């Protein structure tokens, strides 16, 4: 008994000492970083790990390097590192991970976080990688909710939402205001331009007029790259927090994305962004937000604003084949065709899943079915 009490006392004093040193009290979040694959070398990744560890995070560095204050998980290459990261997440050995690429399922996309140049103000960009929906308008409406979740999990009680003036902005605005009129508690930002409104111009991006800037993920990806590296010529992302966590209904793993061009300061901030989401229980925040928006007719609003008419083939009832392990990837498919391509494979009894790889949309199949699946997709015109 005495030994058990002594361990508790020792652990408590250690937490107090670490809190005094870092300014962060309580259990330290455990965040893994896959360090291999950076365009700036593995040393850049380890530098980020050391910086984040000094901010009250237990950093597990997956790579070949070692440093004081960081736990190294030795791997020989990037592929082994990703497998190790996924195993650690699955086994709850870590609370979250920061990595340079990850195949999120359709419905999950990341909320980036940047520091804007005009006023040095932070802004969330919803969204930056992954695909919330294969339908553009539905995706942007979901992105707004995902952005609210990320902002609230970072301590902003009532974040303001602005919609970037891109294709689909007005439909997204109408849909979000319909949800608001149904009782969903969403606050809209006001453009800094004279005519105001919640549709944001380029000036608003630079000034961070909204807390959350809603856009499609391809545009959001470009914005993060530009805002984080405009002072360096583009090859080194020097400011901001990276491309953020993958968020989607029912998705509970905390995986944060950075770029191969991300410098140590950005990667360190991404690790700290992950730790903040862990401390503020982002999964609980997401569940509350999804529950709230669904009570206000979220499903019905999404259906009414969906822009893509299903072709006759998509309307056909196709039964999903028995699930199997899918490790082979097929790229080069237009995102709007992704779900139809999956159905085309199901139709010939090949089990397939859609996803988002580091270079764009992918379909995942078993190694045994790869050649046959590629042949079928070429025949149907889904890939070249």
pLDDT digits (tens, 9 = 90+) for 333-355: 877 788 999 999 999 999 999 98
Instruction: At 73, list the tokens.
Output: 């998980």
Q: What is the mean pLDDT of the chain?
A: 91
The residue among 137, 161, 138 whose CA lies nearest residue 149 is 161
Q: Tell me the pLDDT tens digit for each residue of 320-337.
A: 999 999 999 998 887 778
Q: Distance (Å, rounded) from C-alpha 336 to C-alpha 340?
A: 8
Q: What secondary structure letter does DSSP report for 72?
A: E
**Residue 315 domain-assigned (yes or no):** no
Q: Which residue, chain included where needed, has tokens 């950076």?
A: 38
pLDDT at 7: 54
Instruction: At 100, list the tokens.
Output: 């340079």
332 and 300 in a single domain? The answer is no
Which of 273, 305, 337 marks a domain boundary?
A: 305
266 and 298 in a single domain? The answer is yes
CATH number of the domain at 364, please: 3.30.70.1530
Which of 96, 127, 145 marks a domain boundary?
A: 96
Q: Distance (Å, rounded) from C-alpha 324 to C-alpha 369?
A: 11
**Residue 182 domain-assigned (yes or no):** yes
**Residue 124 domain-assigned (yes or no):** yes
Question: Which stretch of DSSP H or E encloses residue 378?
Answer: helix 370-379
Q: Distance (Å, rounded) from C-alpha 151 to C-alpha 187?
A: 12
pLDDT at 359: 61
249 and 117 in a single domain? The answer is yes
The residue among 208, 247, 240 whose CA lies nearest residue 224 is 240
Domain with 204 in it: 108-305
92 torsion bin: left (phi>0), alpha (psi -120 to 50), beta (else): left
296 is catalytic: no
**Residue 311 domain-assigned (yes or no):** no
83 and 218 in a single domain? The answer is no
pLDDT at 18: 54
**Residue 320 domain-assigned (yes or no):** no
112 and 92 in a single domain? The answer is no
pLDDT at 27: 86
154 and 284 in a single domain? The answer is yes
Instruction: At 46, list the tokens.
Output: 């380890």
The distance from CA 313 to its chain's CA centroid, rounded to whole angstroms, is: 31
Q: Distance (Å, rounded) from C-alpha 139 to C-alpha 245?
A: 16
113 and 236 in a single domain? The answer is yes
223 and 367 in a single domain? The answer is no
pLDDT at 335: 78
Contacts of 311 (CB under 8 A, 6+ apart): 340
The distance from CA 311 to its chain's CA centroid, rounded to whole angstroms, is: 30
At residue 310 the predicted structure's pLDDT band, cuts being 50, 70 and 90, is: very low
- Rounded to an integer, the average pLDDT of 72-85 is 96
140 and 76 in a single domain? The answer is no
84 and 207 in a single domain? The answer is no
Q: Which residue, chain included where needed, has tokens 């090859």?
A: 235
**Residue 47 domain-assigned (yes or no):** yes
**Residue 319 domain-assigned (yes or no):** no
pLDDT at 376: 95
CB 259 within 8 A of CB 229: no
Number of structural domains the chain divides into:
3
Q: Tell me the pLDDT tens digit for each residue of 7-53.
A: 555 555 555 555 555 455 568 999 999 999 999 999 999 999 999 99
81 and 188 in a single domain? The answer is no
Residue 71, pLDDT > 90, answer: yes
**Residue 255 domain-assigned (yes or no):** yes
The counts of H helices and E strands in the chain are 13, 15
Centre a 10 Å sphere on the Cβ of residue 83 and count the other Cβ atoms it contains.
Answer: 12
Number of residues that this document lists for the chain? 384
153 and 280 in a single domain? The answer is yes
Q: Distance (Å, rounded) from C-alpha 183 to C-alpha 188?
A: 14
Answer with the residue of higher pLDDT: 26 or 71. Answer: 71
- Rounded to an integer, the average pLDDT of 295-318 is 76
pTM value is: 0.83
Q: Tell me the pLDDT tens digit for each residue of 84-124.
A: 999 999 999 999 999 999 999 999 999 999 999 999 999 99
Q: Which residue, chain included where needed, has tokens 């699946």?
A: 373
Which of 67, 96, 125 marks a domain boundary?
A: 96
The percent of residues in the chain predicted with pLDDT above 70, rounded, is 90
Query: Read out DSSP for 52-68?
Result: HHTTT-EEEEEES---T
pLDDT at 19: 56
Using the CB atoms, write b or e for 139-154: b if 16+ within 10 Å.
bbbbbbbbbbbbbbbb
pLDDT at 184: 98
Q: Tell me the pLDDT tens digit for each residue of 196-241.
A: 999 999 999 999 999 999 999 999 999 999 999 999 999 999 999 9
pLDDT at 99: 98
pLDDT at 13: 58
């Amino acid at each position: 008994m005495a030994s058990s009490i002594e361990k508790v006392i020792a652990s408590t004093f250690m937490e107090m000492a670490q809190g005094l040193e870092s300014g962060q009290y309580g259990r330290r979040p455990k965040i893994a970083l896959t360090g291999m694959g950076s365009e700036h070398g593995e040393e850049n990744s380890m530098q980020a790990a050391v910086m984040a560890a000094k901010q009250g995070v237990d950093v597990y560095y997956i790579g070949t390097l070692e440093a004081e204050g960081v736990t190294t998980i030795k791997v020989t290459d990037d592929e082994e590192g990703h497998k190790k990261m996924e195993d650690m997440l699955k086994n709850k050995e870590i609370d979250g991970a920061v990595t340079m690429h990850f195949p999120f399922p359709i419905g999950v996309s990341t909320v980036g976080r940047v520091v804007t140049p005009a006023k040095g103000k932070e802004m969330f960009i919803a969204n930056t990688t992954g695909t919330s929906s294969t339908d553009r308008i539905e995706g942007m409406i979901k992105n707004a909710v995902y952005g609210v979740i990320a902002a609230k999990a970072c301590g902003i009680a009532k974040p303001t939402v602005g919609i970037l003036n891109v294709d689909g902005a007005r439909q997204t605005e109408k849909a979000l205001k319909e949800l608001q009129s149904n009782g969903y508690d969403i606050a809209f930002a006001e453009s800094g331009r004279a005519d105001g409104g919640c549709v944001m111009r380029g000036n608003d991006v630079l000034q961070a007029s909204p807390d959350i800037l809603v856009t499609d993920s391809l545009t959001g990806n470009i914005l993060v790259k530009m805002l984080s590296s405009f002072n360096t010529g583009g090859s080194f992302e020097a400011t901001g927090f990276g491309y953020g966590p993958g968020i989607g209904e029912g998705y509970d793993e905390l995986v944060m994305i950075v770029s191969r061009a991300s410098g140590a300061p950005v990667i360190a901030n991404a690790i700290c962004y992950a730790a903040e989401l862990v401390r503020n229980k982002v999964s609980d925040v997401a569940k509350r937000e999804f529950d709230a928006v669904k009570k206000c007719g979220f499903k019905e609003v999404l259906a009414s604003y969906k822009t893509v008419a299903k072709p006759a083939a998509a309307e056909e009832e196709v039964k999903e084949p028995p699930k199997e392990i899918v490790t082979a990837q097929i790229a080069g498919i237009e995102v709007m065709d992704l779900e139809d391509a999956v159905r085309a494979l199901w139709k010939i009894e090949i089990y397939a899943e859609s996803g988002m790889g580091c270079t764009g949309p992918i379909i995942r199949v078993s190694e045994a079915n790869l050649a046959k699946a590629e042949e079928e997709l070429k025949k149907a015109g889904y890939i070249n």
